[in-house]
A and B are shown apart, each in its own frame.
Chain A
Amino acid sequence: MARLIVRKLRYRGRRFSYESPTLLDGINILEGPNGTGKTTFSELLYFGLGGRVESFQRNAREKHAEITSDTENYVELEIEAGGNPFKLRRFIDTNDVGIEDASGRVEVLPVIRSQTSPRTFSDWLLERLQIEPVTVFAVSDYSGKISFNDLARLIYHDQSPDPSGIYRAADNTSFVSDSKAFRKAVFEILAGKSFQELYASIARLKDLEKKRVGSANTLETFKRFIDDVRPNQEDLNLIFLERRIGEVMQQLERASEYRKTLTKMPQRNAPIDTRTRKSELLSLEMESTKLSRQASDLLSELGRLERLKSELILEVTQIRKMIFAHDKLNLFSTNTCPYCLREVDRELNRCVCGSAIDESKYEKFFYDSGEYLTILKSKQRNVDTIDDAIGSCQEEMGEVERRHTALAERAEAIKTEIASLVENSDALVDISKFDEIDQHILTLRGDLASLEQQKELETRRQELEQTHQANEVLYEAALAQYNELQAKADREMAAQRQKFSAKYDELMRLHVQGCRTAGIDSDYVPILNAGEYREASAKVPKRLFYYLTLLYLSLDDPGVGFPRFLLIDTPETAGIDLANFIGCLEEVRKVVDSTNPPECQVILTTGIDKYPPSCRDRVFATLSKTHRLLRPRQEQLNLSGSTRD
């Protein structure tokens, strides 16, 4: 894997400043007595790499006096990551790191991940170091992304307040980041080769499992919903549903066609025929009414004529009776005296009174038989005339009646025809058939709507089934891959553990007198003498060699994740004598120098001369009470040259 190399460390503030000389591959030692700034150096370096240093925070309980009192102060590191040089700058009390690459392009990334800034400085650095920032599941579903600062718990060997712990305390202690799973993951990523892949596959597996469970739940909920909504519905898949929909649509089409024929058959001609006939009937009836009136008039006329005739006949009869009475009684004549009513002998051309008259102009009240007969004949002629009139009237009446009868017959025929048409149309257009077919169509449409809805639900269900099936497949594949990787990782880790234990055992036994066996258990926790050895003197080598063995593994096999960089801050603590301590550091040197030129970098801060003599030339700065790491700006301007540069 890629290496991390720190070439230079600078500190700049308004009051204090520091600039390291160029740091080399191999061991770089900063020596100095306590309280001169060795730890400050390590902390500045770690801070520059995105780490959290509590004492640099201005509100910290035990704050770093110079740094927290300084202003506009920042750390600048010149590093090489993955073979490329970068300049990193981070202001004190801020959480952003500015990255400047060789071409001068600057990118600023946050140290802390947030929703608004999902990419962090750690992501960038791990990318450079070819380490995947995998997600590690700590407890149940709680997970976290591995960061460089997590890995730095086995890269940065600080002055642990509890040296019995191997891992440096986490920057942000939480049940995730401090979980055993997390610690194991850190070790496995640094010591193993396929672990990044494994952890990536675990994350993917977890993700897929979540999706699988989610899709299973969704599917189950959906099925229950369908059961609730349509409890008695036939269980049909999409193919059967589409077939059923097709059938219903065909039925619907046939029903609609049938209805169309019902509508067309009777209604195209019938009303027109009826109208024509009705119109004819109307004109016939109007004609008939006219004829009836004419007949009525004729009848009245005939009545009058008949009455006149009978009156005339009566009169004729009566005139006969009058003639008979005249002949028998001879009551009055032109010779009857109008006063005494007796017969007188009257001279011709003389009146009864004796006056001369014209006999033909003689006005008299009485008629003789001849005159009565004349009147009778005249009356009889009148009767004949009336008979003629009656005859022609009757003839006319007959004609009218004949026409009327013809009209009535025609009207009757039309009525019969209309009745027949209406009856026939009724036979053709059976309303009940319309009702039936409409009901049928309605039912079919209802069925169709229901089936369409069912199809929609079924489509959704099938989609859910397919999604779930796909999730299952992906999950299974991921599980298989995980199992494979796990097996591979297990095998590899077993080998790495063995290798680690062998080197660790060698180092421990060389420098801890009571140590007979040393190794790591399945949780990568050091076990000395099968867990029975707990001497305080063993604490320093136990931890130091743990880090060193990891470096050793990376040098032995560059395929492992460890970035071949160690930062060791003043490891001497109570409980270890100087000779043994120097011996331990000698082991460090040996490991570092196992390759020539060295392919790793170790930065070590330690007390004055508290390092092997072979490392004297690796000291890049010596601090003292008067020559502290951070120097006031003015002083620094005056003093120079006490460093290796």
Chain B
Amino acid sequence: MNTHELVNIRKRIMFVKADDVYFIAYNLLISLYELKATSTSRPFRDYRKLSFLIDFVADPRLTAILQDSKRFGIPPNSEDRHELSVAYSRGASRMPHSMRVICALESRGILSIERGNQSEGFDLWLHVEKLPGGFLADELYEVERSNISTLRAMWPQLRIVRLDTMLQNFFGVNGVEAWHA
């Protein structure tokens, strides 16, 4: 096995999808776009919410758990609770990576960051025109668009609610303790 093959194997082993910058990037961009945070007057409040939101946008099963729980008022089973708990942990641990991706996107002028008035985190909005044409509308991201639409339908204030409120809605009411301050 040559050195190149060894490097490839190592990189493959070290690959963590959830923390991958492009994974974070496309989910984040689609979310902002679908939540219509596309101008300074409609910012997405508190970027930290995006770090937790990404898993739900990427995985329709997680969205379905929230949807079922909210629709029937029945707390999720232990397996689903476990899934939610893992999603919460991933959201929390993804936070620095998310910030890096946001910064990279800002440096390319794709979104703007602004210290919010009401929240501890930054507010941000998307510059759709800075994105390559057809990127956000590509059918490849159909699932993600559908998921964020579903979440928005459930919580129309998702764009502007506080991080605590969203965490309570996503995890707390479903039996997963959200300890994030």
Contacts and interface: CB of A to CB of B under 8 A. Distances in A.
Interface of A: 314-315, 317-326, 328-329, 331-332, 336, 340-342, 360-361, 365-367, 371, 374-375, 378
Given A341-B104, A342-B107, A331 B25 contact: yes
Contacts of A331: 21-22, 25, 101, 104-105, 108
Contact of A375 (B12, B26, B141): B12
Nearest to A367: B11
Contacts of B17: 315, 318-319, 322
Contacts of A336: 104
A332 B21 CA distance: 8
Nearest to A337: B107
Contacts, number: 73
Contact of A341 (B23, B100, B141): B100
7 contacts: A314-B59, A321-B26, A321-B140, A322-B20, A331-B25, A341-B100, A374-B8
B11 A325 contact: no
A314 B15 CA distance: 15
Give the residue among B7, B21, B141 with the most A Cβ atoms within 10 A. B21
B132 A365 contact: no
Question: Which 9 residue pairs across A and B have the least CB separation, nearest first?
Answer: A322-B22, A325-B26, A341-B104, A325-B22, A328-B132, A360-B3, A341-B107, A331-B104, A326-B22
B103 interface: yes
Given A318-B58, A331-B101, A361-B7, A325 B25 contact: yes
Given A321-B26, A332-B104, A371 B11 contact: yes
Contact of B21 (A317, A320, A366): A366
B4 interface: yes
B127 to A, nearest CB: 13
Contacts of A365: 21
A341 B25 CA distance: 14
Contacts of A374: 8, 12
B12 A321 contact: no
Contacts of B143: 317
B155 interface: no
B157 to A, nearest CB: 28
Given A331-B101, A336-B104, A360-B4, 9 more contacts: A318-B58, A322-B22, A324-B140, A328-B132, A329-B132, A342-B107, A367-B15, A371-B12, A375-B15
Interface residues of B, number: 32
Give the residue among A329, A340, A367 with the most B Cβ atoms within 10 A. A329
Contacts of B23: 318, 321-322
Nearest to B8: A374
A31 B132 CA distance: 202
Interface string B148-175: 0000000000000000000000000000
B100 A324 contact: no
B129 interface: no
Contact of B103 (A319, A341, A366, A378): A341
A399 B50 CA distance: 48
A461 to B, nearest CB: 96
Nearest to B133: A328
Contacts of A328: 131-132, 135
A329 B17 CA distance: 18
A371 B104 CA distance: 21
B26 A322 contact: yes
Given A314-B59, A341-B103, A341-B107, A329 B8 contact: no
B42 to A, nearest CB: 22
A360 B1 CA distance: 13
A540 B108 CA distance: 199
B29 to A, nearest CB: 8
Interface string B83-115: 000000000000000001101110110100000
Contacts of B8: 371, 374
Interface in B114-145: 131-132, 135, 138, 140-141, 143-144
A340 B101 CA distance: 12
Nearest to B107: A341
B22 to A, nearest CB: 4
A336 B105 CA distance: 13
A323 B141 CA distance: 12
B143 to A, nearest CB: 8
Contacts of B15: 367, 375
Contact of B22 (A329, A340, A341, A342): A329
B3 A361 contact: yes
Nearest to B101: A331
Contacts of B59: 314
Contacts of A319: 17
Give the residue among B100, B110, B131 with the most A Cβ atoms within 10 A. B100
Given A361-B3, A374-B12, A321 B103 contact: no
A318 B25 CA distance: 12
A329 B25 contact: yes
Nearest to A338: B100
Given A361-B3, A371-B11, A320 B140 contact: yes
Nearest to A360: B3
Contacts of A325: 22, 25-26, 135
Nearest to B134: A328
Nearest to A362: B7
Contacts of A323: 22
A325 B7 CA distance: 24
A321 B21 contact: no
A366 B140 CA distance: 22
A251 B132 CA distance: 112
A340 B107 contact: yes
Contacts of B107: 340-342
Contacts of A332: 21, 104
A386 to B, nearest CB: 17
A341 B100 CA distance: 9
Nearest to A329: B25
A569 to B, nearest CB: 150
A374 B8 CA distance: 8
Nearest to A365: B21
Contacts of B100: 341
Contacts of B21: 331-332, 365-366
Contacts of A329: 22, 25, 108, 110, 131-132, 135
Contacts of A326: 22
A341 B20 CA distance: 16
A319 B58 CA distance: 11
Give the residue among A321, A324, A341 with the most B Cβ atoms within 10 A. A321
A342 B58 CA distance: 27
A436 to B, nearest CB: 63
A406 B132 CA distance: 62
A9 to B, nearest CB: 148
A325 B144 CA distance: 13
A375 B132 CA distance: 25
